[in-house]
Structure 1
Amino acid sequence: MSNDKSTNQKKLLRAVQPNRIIYPILIGAAVVIYMISKEVNQETFSLINFTWYSALWILIAILLMAVRDLGYMARLRILTDHEFSWSKSFRIIMLWEFTSAITPSAIGGTSVAILYLNKEGIKVGRSSAIVMATSFLDELYFILMFPLLVLLLNDEQLFMFDLHQSSIWMESLLLFAIGGYLVKLTYLIVLTYGLFWNPRGLKWLLLWIFKLPILRKWKHGANKAGSDIIESSKQLRQKSFFYWFKAFMATFWSWTARYWVVNVMLLAFWFQGYSFAEHIMIFARQLVMWIMMLISPTPGGSGFSEWVFTKYLGEFLPSAGLAASMALLWRLISYYPYLFIGVYLLPRWIKKHF
């Protein structure tokens, strides 16, 4: 038995070995350094006016990330019928975000999240149902917000990061956004069908997930897990409208807080401020950015995220050099902390549960 535990521990450690953490940092840093070396000059620094007012807005940006995590923790407590404490929910969310940060955006940390929940005392089948419910709620947020913002805003401004550049950029951005949206919409339809109409189809998906190397050890027990999923799906279908409303509001709270981080960061350095319409446009472009990040093959979208930030949000900044600098600050606030928190938490979590 101890040998099995040791083998499981080694498998999980291999999945999150240090080079998985180093790669996204190196990729993102390389892209930012290249952009800064190309765009930053003496005039760029003259545009920066850092004061205590700036520090306050940066602090608010960090607090918004905390609000975002609190929303995820609240959602997890709702979906587990408050079986998880706040401290346990914090631990799971941080590990989940860490896994997402070291895997390509299209993959995320969903498969390993099932293992995290299971080791914290939730049956495998119910863990799968909870993870699928979180995916359902996340995708529902994007599916509802994207067309709403497109209807409210000028589509030329929304999909064009520089009105003076060739229209080919706008066309490419539009194609990326529509492609990503269709992927998310298809996934949401399949997930909804599996959770609420055909749980046996979801069982098949679980069997496919457990073919991954890190989870292959448990693939022989996937049949029983599939039965648990069917039972859990029955439970989810029986949940009240208020239950789903609370879970969705926690999701809405989380994603909205995350998108407002960039709006607040911009206020930290440009005191003339932005109009309400500009703030909504900045918010909307971030949502489009996250949809486009689905195509990024790099861990956590490293490199691609920084590049898209400078091109897509640079219009709201005085210079391209400042856009590159802000891209770095944005990732320092919204991405890198999860890497370091995960490095600290994961070995202790493995030691406790294996």
Structure 2
Amino acid sequence: MALVTPGASGGAVAQIMFMRKAGVPVAKATVVVFVRTIMSITFLILLVPFVLHSDHALVDWMPTSVITIVSVLFVSLPIAAVLLMRTRYPEFWIIGLTNNFSRDFRRNCFIWYKEFKQASFIMGKNPLKVMRAFIESGLSLLCIYATVPMFFLGMNIKFDWLQVMGRMVLLNLVLYFSPTPGGSGVAEAGFVVLFSELLPGGLVGIMAVLWRFTAEYLPFLLGAVVSIRAFGSNVLSMKNLRKGEDQQ
């Protein structure tokens, strides 16, 4: 579902559906998925400064002072977001920014804000468990991204592990905000831009297809089979979010 929706937003819905099927209330499942997504994005954001400072070929046009400023901003964003959730300023900003939009749009914005605020309070109450989940989320992402350097090894291509993994981090961070379904088009184009200078001529396109097939399309096929077996052919029915409520 992440592969067929813009910004991979359908992946969160799928996780809620499966947790709902297991008897977890929708509200609690939503917060869990929201926290998990925040952790993934935050992990990638915190890695950006290391990527900028280590990959000189990528930022040789950028002065060191600018790199430092950008790094500080990236590290400060998650901290500032959590601190702001403890104030009422975001509510005033949301009211002002959405004043000219429809009622449904404003309501969705406030729902998103309340989920984010609730998630920040949950993380603040359980720092050790949150840190463990944060580390496990990061390791999970790095293992997925490691498919690309593994293909490099299989093709006997000399490369720098940190450089390749760093560029995968940047690319996948961009895909979180891609407007296309599953980041299609953006992922392939971004891969070509970032890895064309690291690969022999003609291989960058092949490598992009291998990466997408291994990390996206194969899981898509497996997920389709599992979802249909779990929910039937009408996988996207909203009834799937309410399954199990009669058992509570």
TM-score (norm 2): 0.68
CA distance in 2, matches of 1:350, 1:297: 27
User: Which amino acid in the other structure matches residue 39 of structure 2?
Assistant: L
Q: Which residue of 2 aligns with 1:308?
A: 190
Q: Does 1:257 align with 2:143?
A: yes
Cα distance change on mapping 1:193 and 1:127 into 2, 3 Å: farther
User: Which amino acid in the other structure matches residue 158 of structure 1?
Assistant: L
Match of 1:315, SS state, is: coil
Q: Which has the higher helix share?
A: 1
Q: Is the 8 A contact 1:132 1:191 kept in 2?
A: no
Q: Which residue of 2 aligns with 1:152?
A: 54
CA distance in 2, matches of 1:110, 1:193: 24
CA RMSD after TM alignment = 3.7
Which has the greater radius of gyration? 1
Q: Which residue of 1 aligns with 2:208?
A: 327
CA distance in 1, matches of 2:123, 2:156: 47
Q: Is the 8 A contact 2:51 2:167 kept in 1?
A: no
CA deviation vs aligned residue, 1:227-280 (integer Å, no higher than 9, x gap): 9x96x87655432x3212211121121111122211111111125x33xxx221
Q: Which residue of 1 aligns with 2:100?
A: none
Task: Give aligned-pair identity as a percent.
Answer: 22
CA distance in 1, matches of 2:55, 2:11: 33
Deviation at 1:109, TM superposition (A): 2.5
Q: What are the ranges of 5 or more consecutive residues in structure 1 without an aligned counterpart?
A: 1-98, 161-166, 206-210, 213-218
Q: Is the 8 A contact 1:140 1:188 kept in 2?
A: no
Q: Which residue of 2 aligns with 1:238?
A: 125
CA distance in 2, matches of 1:233, 1:122: 20
Which residue, out of 268, 281, 286, partners 2:163?
A: 281
CA deviation vs aligned residue, 1:98-133 (integer Å, no higher than 9, x gap): x21111226453345334323321122221221121
Q: Which residue of 2 aligns with 1:342?
A: 223
Moved over 6 A (4+): none
The within-5 A match list for 1:1-354 is 99-105=1-7, 107=9, 109-154=11-56, 157-159=57-59, 189-190=80-81, 193-194=84-85, 197=86, 236-239=123-126, 241-270=127-156, 273-274=158-159, 278-294=160-176, 296-319=178-201, 321-351=202-232, 354=243
TM-score (norm 1): 0.49
Cα distance change on mapping 1:235 and 1:292 into 2, 3 Å: closer
Deviation at 1:191, TM superposition (A): 6.2
CA deviation vs aligned residue, 1:50-107 (integer Å, no higher than 9, x gap): xxxxxxxxxxxxxxxxxxxxxxxxxxxxxxxxxxxxxxxxxxxxxxxxx211112264
Cα distance change on mapping 1:187 and 1:135 into 2, 3 Å: farther
Q: Is the 8 A contact 1:136 1:191 kept in 2?
A: no
